[in-house]
Structure 1
Amino acid sequence: MRTLVMWDIDGTLLRGGGLAWRAWQAAFAEVTGREWRETPHIGGRTDLDLCAEVFSTHGVTDCTPERFFERYVELVLLEQHLFAEQGWLMPGVREVLAALGDEPDVVQTLVTGNHPVVAAAKVGAFGLADAFDAEVGGYGTDDSVRATLVRRCLERAGQKYGEQFRAVVVGDTGHDVDAALANGVTVVAVATGGVSSDELAAAGAHHVLPDLSDVDAAVRLIKA
């Protein structure tokens, strides 16, 4: 049985330097005409979930998520080169992706709270797009509940490849852990996104690493 590795993006693979969130706030102001008042907790949540909270907090009833996302994506794409200029990759990411990419029994994809176009822009800015089969990924516009993104990814991979996979989520928040466990998927958590190793272990992660700088250890755990 081959392994499907589902990578989270923000805090796990990279930091985008705040570009996406600045675009989010600018798009919100443009499409709703409302002044930004309150920023929600972001880490590990889906774009649909965040959109629902932001609209509710600001009393927005005359705008759809689809309309908002259209402008948000446009603003991100205008400055997508800044992801690499203002952001950075987490330690060991490029090396671990390359090592897993050399394994014939591994398929890597993305399971992220991001809109799919924004996800592609982020990994593309760092030259990582070819590491992933983005077509089978799970994205923040699939559903507001992150566990559903993992399920959609499993379904898409099964449909495309005609086989079942042993799946692994690699993420940095309790939301990543919960989403994986809800689908019976192994979790390799990394403490690079602001959640401590102890917290990730307490959430139920099967394996916890401080980061991915020990490439051999990371690959071994992901393939275990």
Structure 2
Amino acid sequence: MLFTRDMLAKIAAGRVDLAFRSWRRPGVRCGTRLRTEAGVVEIGEVTAVTEAEVSERDALRAGFADRAALLADLRPGDDRRLYRIGVRLGGEDPRVRLREDTDLSAQELEEIVAALRGIDARSRRGPWTRNVLELVRDHPGERAAELAALAGRETVRFKADVRVLRERGLTESLAVGYRLSPRGRLVLEALRKGGAE
């Protein structure tokens, strides 16, 4: 379930506490926690509704100017159902604190490096984590498509690689492209000192 930056800002400010989606089947359920750039968005009640049950007040609570604007924003399709979804900001994304954390013992750093080498060892295409970290370091803010081309990867697959690293607090997304986090710089240096394996 995706939100625009503007909508995330409204959720974070408490001005939006509802969302509406037209899905073939529910994409989230009550209790789902979504990590976003604004923080963790918690999903409340998820209820199938008809368009007739959507009120003007619902539209305002969902961040739209009126009911007509909300309905016009939904994906069309006879095979889809409309869902009313409670949303609220549940706190900071834990990856934010993680990527700033560079106060690592030698053992902690060694464990992170070992985990990355384990990812590389299980990869069908061979080692890639260090290469992606170096690309992000050398090209901060570069579009994913350009980085993917440099890596010889399809854009979608390259983005998946970056997500693996972001989950470990090593990269962060920018409005366009990525950059290494302080933790990522530290880990990359440890990878380089250890040499290629």
- TM bracket, shorter-chain basis: under 0.3
Larger Rg: 2
TM-score scaled by length of structure 1 = 0.22
Structure with higher RCO (Cα < 8 A, 6+ apart): 1
TM-score scaled by length of structure 2 = 0.23
As a proportion of its length, which structure holds more strand?
A: 2
